[in-house]
Amino acid sequence: MLNINKLKGKIVEKGVTITKLADMIEMDRSTLYRKLADPDDKLSIREANKICKALRLTKDEAFQIFFGEYVA
């Protein structure tokens, strides 16, 4: 399950905006905003991989964001 808060934290930590990240992964800005806002609108594996590369996430960071269990 996607941990939106961790992903948004990494985006801020890396000094990138959502708009800039959308450009980096070749996705429309509104599509990325929608996918991050709506838990039913999932990211594909390809999109998650592009985000990992764009933000230069470690394997552990990527696992925590995209596969870790998130309890609110």
Q: Tell me, what amino acid is at 39? A: P
Q: What is the pLDDT of residues 28-57, one digit of tens each?
A: 999 999 999 987 888 999 999 999 999 999
- Write down the pLDDT at residue 67: 86
Give me the CATH number covering residue 35.
1.10.260.40
Q: Give how many domains the chain has, as a whole number.
A: 1
- DSSP class of residue 42? P
Q: Tell me, what amino acid is at 45? A: I
39 inside domain: yes
pTM for this prediction: 0.87
Contact indicator for 10, 60 with CB cutoff of 8 Å: no
71 inside domain: no
